[in-house]
Amino acid sequence: NAGVTQTPKFQVLKTGQSMTLQCAQDMNHNSMYWYRQDPGMGLRLIYYSASEGTTDKGEVPNGYNVSRLNKREFSLRLESAAPSQTSVYFCASGRGRDTEAFFGQGTRLTVV
């Protein structure tokens, strides 16, 4: 099993460009999450989805949108990228409440 797969692994965007980060899990998990990790800031929750068809804001949702396409896939969209969105983005999935989340390998995004 691949676990949690994120694409792309690296991306450079110009300010104002849009893009979608893709995430898929093959563990039949209900919950999925998007985090960003900046140096010295730990992981901050952007959005999460407790089940297919539901999404909710996390700690830092501004500038992002998400889609829970089906149980396997949870995408993160940047409509108009800004340099402040330069970060490493992690997708994660879990069985549900009070269970651990499993993480992908991350997408390193640079906005110039």
User: Which residues of this chain interact with other proteins, rule CB under 8 A?
Assistant: 4, 31, 33, 35, 40-45, 48, 50, 56, 58-59, 90, 92, 94, 96-106
Distance CA 11, CA 37 (A): 15
Distance CA 33, CA 2 (A): 17
CB 86 within 8 Å of CB 109? yes
Q: Which C-beta is closer to other proteins: that of 85 or that of 93? A: 93
Least separation in angstroms between CB 17 and other proteins: 25
Least separation in angstroms between CB 23 and other proteins: 11
Q: Which C-beta is closer to other proteins: that of 17 or that of 86? A: 86
Least separation in angstroms between CB 87 and other proteins: 14
Q: Which residue has the tokens 């804001």?
A: 57
Measured CA distances, 80 to 43, 56, 65 (Å) = 22, 20, 11
Q: Which C-beta is closer to other proteins: that of 42 or that of 53? A: 42
